[in-house]
Amino acid sequence: MHNKSITQAEINNTVWKACDTFRGVIDPSQYKDYILTMLFVKYLSDVWKDKKKQYEERYQGDAVRVERALRNERFYVPEHSTFDHLYNNRNKDNLGELINISLEKLEDENRAKLERVFRNIDFNSESNLGQTKDRNRRLKNLLVDFSELDLQPSHLENNDIIGDAYEYLISRFASDAGKKAGEFYTPSEVSTLLAKLMNPEPGMRICDPACGSGSLLIKVAREVGSKNFSPYGQEINGSTWALCRMNMFLHEMDNAQIEWGDTLNSPKLLEGDSLMKYNIVVANPPFSLDKWGAENASADQYDRFHRGVPPKSKGDYAFISHMVETTYEDIGRAGVILPHGVLFRGSSEGRIREQMIRENLLEAVIGLPSNLFFGTGIPACILIFNKGKGENTDVLFIDASRDYAQGKNQNQLRKEDIEHILNTYENFKSGKPCEGDEGIALEDKYAYRATIAEIEENDFNLNIPRYVDTFEEEEPIDIPETMKEIDQLKTELKEVESKMEDYLKQLGF
C-alpha cells in the first residue's frame, strides 16, 4: 500500500520520460497522440481497478453484485482493454495490433462517450512507428514506462492531477512541435487571460468553435468556480478532436459536447435547424486561414456572413462572424485571439469591421506582446464582442505589447501583466461612458477609451497606436560629451592600428 500520495511533479516526469521512446523517430505533433492515449487508458484502468477492489470488499466477493455495480461506473473497462492486460502481453509479436483491438473493445463498451475517439490513432502503423521489430520495441518501452505510474484515485495527491498532467504534456509537445503547435494548443497564460476577461458565471453555455485539444475551453470552464456550466466545442482535425474528448473526461467534464468537423463549412453544434447559441464563445482560430470556404459563404444556410464575405485567403472575419452569430442576443459575449491585420485591413474585412462597430458589438481591443505563440513570432490581439453593451458605445483599447517576461523561445505573460489588463478592463466597464466625441486616456501609454465618433474619424481602422499614444520622447543628446567620446575612440583606434602594424612586421608581412 502507498504511504504517500503521488504528486503532480512525479506524474509529469514519468510521462515526459515515456516520450523518449519516440524522440527523433516521430514528429512531436504525431507522437503526442500515442502518449496521451496511453495516459488515458492507464487512468481508466487504474480507476477501474480501484473501484473493483472497493466493490469486492463491500459485496464480500459476490461477483454478480460487483459486476452490476461496475456497470454503473463512468466507464466500463473490459478485461482485455485494461492497461495490465496490455502490459502482460508486452512481449507479443503483434503488440500494436493487440493495443488497437483493446481500444476498439473499450470504445464498444462505452459508445455514448468514446465513439470514434480511438479511430484516428493506429498503434500498428508502420509509417509512424517503424517496422514490426522497432515498433514492438517502442510500444513495449511505452508500456514499461507507464507501468511505473499508479493513477488509482486513492493514491493521488488530488483529483485534478491527471487532467493537469495531460495539459502539461500538451504544452510540452507544443513547444517541441514548433509551427504545427498552434493547431492544437494556446499558450496557458493567454488562455488564462482570455478566460478571466470572459468571467463566466454558473449556468452558462460556453463554446469554443476551434477548440484544438480543449485547453482554452477548460480554462474558461474553470473560471465558473463550480460544475454548473455546459461546455461545447468543435474541432476540424480528427486526432486533435480525439485528444480534446479525452481531455474533457480527464477533467471530469463528461457533459462536454465536442464535435468533429469544419466549423465554417459544416457547423455541427445545432439546435433543430439553427445554430446553437451561447453566453460565451471563445477561440484562438488558425491565423488568416487560406481557402476557408469563401466560395460557399454567401449561400450559408445560417446567414452568418450577412455583413459581408471575408476574402478567400484570410478566414479571420469568417471565425469572428460565426462567433458573433452564435452568441445569445442582448447578453452574449465573444473573445477571440487574432493577428493585428484584423484591426486595419481594408476591402471586405473593413466593411465587416465597420458594420460590427456600427452595431455596437465591439467592446475591447487588446494588443499582446510578440512571440507569445508557438510557431509564429507575430504579435496577436484579443477582440471582445459584447451584445449587452446597451447605451455605452465606447471601445476600450489596451496596448499590453511591452509587458512580458522574455523567454528563450517564447515570451510569456506574467501574473502582473494579466492583472494589469484585467483591472483596466474592469475599470473601463464600471467607468462612465465618454460625453461628446472625445475619448479619454485611461492610463498613459497603455489604455484609451475611444468614442465611436473617433473610430469613424479613423475610417474604422482599429490600429492601436491611433488611440493609445505610445510615443516616447528621446533623451536630448549632449553634443560636447559625444564629441569627447568620438575623440577618445579615435585615439584608441590609432593605438590598435599601430600595434597591428608591429605584429605584422614581426610576422614578416
61-77: pLDDT as tens digits: 899 999 999 999 999 99
All 3 cell numbers of residue 244? 480534446
Q: Is 207 helix (H, G, I), strand (E, B) or coil?
A: strand
pLDDT band at 220 (very low <50, low <70, confident <90, very high): very high
Asked whether the beta carbons of 183 and 193 are under 8 A apart, the reply is: no
Residue in the block written with cell 475591447? 364
pLDDT at residue 221 above 80? yes
Residues 504 and 408 in one domain: no
Query: What pLDDT does 177 receive?
Result: 56
* 256-306 per-position pLDDT tens digit: 999 999 999 999 999 999 999 999 999 999 988 999 999 999 999 999 999
Residue in the block written with cell 504528486? 7
Q: How far apart are CA 89 and CA 85, in angstroms?
A: 6
* 160-183 per-position pLDDT tens digit: 788 888 888 877 776 665 555 555
In this structure, is residue 2 part of a structural domain?
A: no
pLDDT at residue 159 above 80? no
Query: What pLDDT does 180 receive?
Result: 55
pLDDT band at 340 (very low <50, low <70, confident <90, very high): very high
In this structure, is residue 175 part of a structural domain?
A: no
pLDDT at residue 187 above 50? yes
In this structure, is residue 56 part of a structural domain?
A: yes
Range of the domain at 120: 8-158
Query: What pLDDT does 475 receive?
Result: 66
In this structure, is residue 16 part of a structural domain?
A: yes
In this structure, is residue 171 part of a structural domain?
A: no
In this structure, is residue 209 part of a structural domain?
A: yes
pLDDT band at 1 (very low <50, low <70, confident <90, very high): very low
Q: What would the mean pLDDT of 227-231 be, rounded to a whole number?
A: 95
* Least confident span in 73-82, 134-143, 154-163, 479-488: 154-163
All 3 cell numbers of residue 4? 504517500
Q: How many helices (H) and strands (E) does the chain have?
A: 19, 12
In this structure, is residue 320 part of a structural domain?
A: yes
Most confident of 23-37, 116-130, 202-216, 369-383: 202-216
User: For residue 300, what are the CA distances in angstroms to 282, 310, 334, 415, 466?
Assistant: 22, 13, 21, 42, 35
Angle at 439 between CA 437 and CA 441, to 5 degrees: 165
Q: Return the biggest CA–CA distance within the chain.
A: 100
User: What are the backbone angles phi and psi of residue 119, rounded to the nearest 5°?
Assistant: -65, -30
Residues 186 and 126 in one domain: no
All 3 cell numbers of residue 491? 585615439
Residues 92 and 188 in one domain: no
Query: What pLDDT does 2 receive?
Result: 46
pLDDT at residue 447 above 80? yes
**Please, what is the angle between helix 316-325 and helix 347-358, to 10°?**
30
In this structure, is residue 473 part of a structural domain?
A: no
In 3D space, the residue among 338, 344, 291, 335 whose CA is nearest the CA of residue 314 turns out to be 291
Q: Which has more confidence, 24 or 59? A: 59
Residues 396 and 337 in one domain: yes
Amino acid at 330: D
Query: What pLDDT does 372 receive?
Result: 81
Amino acid at 51: K
pLDDT band at 503 (very low <50, low <70, confident <90, very high): confident
Q: What would the mean pLDDT of 143-148 be, rounded to a whole number?
A: 91
Handedness of CA 452, 321, 197, 471 (dihedral sign): negative
Query: What pLDDT does 182 receive?
Result: 53
Residues 231 and 338 in one domain: yes
Q: Is 323 helix (H, G, I), strand (E, B) or coil?
A: helix
In 3D space, the residue among 371, 375, 353, 372 whose CA is nearest the CA of residue 362 turns out to be 353
Write out the E strands in 376-473.
380-386, 395-399, 440-443, 447-450
Query: What pLDDT does 49 receive?
Result: 93
> What is 72-105 written as a DSSP string?
TSSS---GGGSHHHHHHTTT-TTHHHHHHHHHHH
- The DSSP letter of residue 470 is -
pLDDT at residue 45 above 90? yes
Q: Is 260 helix (H, G, I), strand (E, B) or coil?
A: strand
Residues 132 and 196 in one domain: no
Residue in the block written with cell 488530488? 158
Residues 147 and 194 in one domain: no
Residues 135 and 221 in one domain: no
Residues 140 and 229 in one domain: no
pLDDT band at 329 (very low <50, low <70, confident <90, very high): very high
Query: What pLDDT does 429 receive?
Result: 93
Q: What is the mean pLDDT of the chain?
A: 89
Residues 333 and 461 in one domain: yes
Q: Taking the mean position of all CA atoms in its chain, how far away is CA 359?
A: 29
Residues 152 and 124 in one domain: yes
State the CATH number of the domain containing residue 350: 3.40.50.150
Query: What pLDDT does 478 receive?
Result: 73
% of the chain at pLDDT higher than 70:
94
Dihedral, 29, 35, 40, 42 alpha carbons, nearest 10: 180
Residue in the block written with cell 514506462? 145
Number of structural domains (the chain) is 3
Asked whether the beta carbons of 308 and 346 are under 8 A apart, the reply is: no
Q: Locate all alpha helices (DSSP H) within 89-214, ordered by sequence.
A: 95-109, 111-114, 126-129, 132-147, 161-177, 188-198
In 3D space, the residue among 318, 261, 313, 266 whose CA is nearest the CA of residue 290 turns out to be 313
Dihedral, 223, 225, 228, 232 alpha carbons, nearest 10: 20
State the CATH number of the domain containing residue 29: 1.20.1260.30
Q: Which has more confidence, 409 or 343? A: 343
- In the chain, the N- to C-terminal Cα span, in Å, equals 81
Task: Find all residues with CB under 8 Å of 415, minimum gap 6, and list them.
Answer: none
Q: What would the mean pLDDT of 99-103 be, rounded to a whole number?
A: 97
Tell me which of 158, 190, 215 is where a domain ends: 158
Residues 425 and 509 in one domain: no
Bridge partners for 440 per DSSP: 449
Query: What pLDDT does 270 receive?
Result: 97
pLDDT at residue 437 above 60? yes
Tell me which of 104, 125, 158 is where a domain ends: 158
